[in-house]
Amino acid sequence: MAMLLHFSQLLGYVVPIAGWAVPIVLWQVYKDKLPGIDQHGKAVVNFMITMLLLGFVGGLTVCFGVGIIVLILVAIFGVVCPILAGIRANEGGFYQYPLTIQFLK
């Protein structure tokens, strides 16, 4: 289930709201039923919020030229990191998303 929690972020590339809603719903439904899901869910939410903030900053700084690089990096991180986290979760481990602000502890 932890693997699906991480991979569900990628649904946002198919259905925009699903990339946010599905991971949060999965986390809330299974956090008390399955051990470790709470830790994975918090990591996913922290990552999503951080990517949203970085995307916002990138969007604001596009006119300076730096924003395009930031947006490209956010897009790459938004695909690669959930895949790596899902693979690690499938192996029974935990993946600490890089450059993520810890809003939820």
List per-block mean pLDDT (blocks of 10 residues) for the chain, which spans 105 residues: 93 90 94 92 95 94 90 94 95 91 88
Return the domain boundaries, the chain.
2-90
pLDDT computed for residue 99 by the predictor:
87
Cβ(30)–Cβ(37) below 8 Å: yes
pTM over 0.85: yes
